[in-house]
Amino acid sequence: LSARSLNLSVRRDSRSCIILMCFCATIMRSRHLEKEQKIGKGSLSCLRQEANCCCIRGVFLFHICKPSDPHFRSLSLPIPLVGPMRVEFSEPVNLDMVRKGNPQLGMGGRYKPNDCVALQKVAIIIPFRNRGEHLKYWLHYLHPIIQRQQLDYGIYVIQQDGEGTFNRAKLLNVGYVEALKEYDYDCFVFSDVDIIPMDDRNTYKCSSQPRHLSVSMDKFRFRLPYKQYFGGVSAMSKEQFQKINGFPNNYWGWGGEDDDIFNRLVFQGMKISRPSGDMGKCRMIRHSRDKKNEPNPQRFRRISHTQQTMKTDGIKSLSYKVVDIEKDLLYTQITVDIGKP
């Protein structure tokens, strides 16, 4: 398709440039899709859905948000991303510098794009206890990444009170409930505090199927450890999360809850979607296992009974007590008492 055949007279102003850019990107993507036989010749019926999570020639993420100008709400703007990034943990992070570097943030780690309306409202939930240095690195890297992805998002650090046995899954359930008390989120990203993506095209948002984002970590030599693996960083829409009754509450100690979630999704007829191995690369901050987070000896038995327990063990049976809520510019920290095994 040549510029002559378009026979367009483009005015030299910003809006005309935006229109032409979007149109050309759309044509380029449609031709690529036809080659892949994802759409038939002359049919663009699934173009919008496909473009929602694709990259244009590797450097533009397409259709993440809509222009805020009401005359252009039907258009989708290409968003410049960095692509592969260098992630290092050798230098300490100063949170005051992170705050200064993110002037668009609202209290509680809230952000909305100024020049467009984001298509998804995302709550990012981090289970937490005694990982202050890891949290600094996470905030340092992730805030700029997610802002470049043009998401309407908030950061929720859910801290387990006391020194009892850690329960990651129950903290994630608490984060889901507490985040919805503040805002009408429709997408939830559940992230360990020690995992940093190495490519900002790995978008922290939801799709038509549950999304596993930490596909290839350096800990596993940048390979998926096993097909059913759903740990590290994952994303589910509000509907997907409710359909499986959320995370199980009875996995105390390390391990098992991510495999339980995989089973729940399968039993409800869903499939895991993932970015490519290259795009899904992540680095993990090396550390020793936390105290009171020893391997759960009951995890394999519990996993084998997921189908019987998922309807009664989850969001519907969640109980906890909020101890404290702290609002920082970079995040909302909610300290909770989740009981004992």
206-264 pLDDT, tens digit each: 999 999 999 999 999 999 999 999 999 999 999 999 999 999 999 998 777 999 999 99
Q: Where is 262: in which H helix or E strand?
A: helix 257-267
Cα distance between residue 329 and residue 306, in whole Å: 39
Q: Is residue 267 part of a domain?
A: yes
Q: Is residue 257 part of a domain?
A: yes
The reply to whether 32 belongs to the active site is no
Domain holding 59, by residue range, is: 11-80
Last residue of a domain, one of 52, 80, 108: 80
Across 73-95, average pLDDT: 80
Which is catalytic among the residues 223, 287, 301, 305? 287
What total of structural domains would you count in the chain? 2
Q: Is residue 73 part of a domain?
A: yes
Q: pLDDT: is 2 or 103 the higher one?
A: 103
Last residue of a domain, one of 45, 80, 115: 80
Q: Beta 321-327 vs 332-337: how paired, if at all?
A: antiparallel
The reply to whether 192 belongs to the active site is yes
The CATH number of residue 201's host domain is 3.90.550.10
10-57 tens-digit pLDDT? 344 444 545 555 555 544 444 444 433 332 333 333 333 333 333 333
The reply to whether 257 belongs to the active site is yes
Question: Do 306 and 264 meet the contact criterion of CB atoms below 8 Å apart?
Answer: yes
The two tokens of residue 42 are 């002359």
The two tokens of residue 60 are 């533009």
For tokens 């510029």, name the residue: 3
The reply to whether 182 belongs to the active site is no
What are residue 19's phi and psi, to 5 degrees? -60, -45
Residue 64's pLDDT band, with cuts at 50, 70 and 90, is low
For residue 138, give the nearest of 232, 71, 201, 258 by alpha carbon. Answer: 232
Q: Is residue 5 part of a domain?
A: no
The reply to whether 133 belongs to the active site is no
Do 101 and 125 share a domain, yes or no?
Answer: yes
Q: Is residue 268 part of a domain?
A: yes
DSSP lists the bridge partners of residue 197 as 282
Q: What is the pTM of this model?
A: 0.79
The reply to whether 239 belongs to the active site is no
Q: Is residue 107 part of a domain?
A: yes
Do 73 and 108 share a domain, yes or no?
Answer: no
Which is catalytic among the residues 50, 152, 178, 194? 194
Q: Is residue 205 part of a domain?
A: yes
Q: Is residue 278 part of a domain?
A: yes
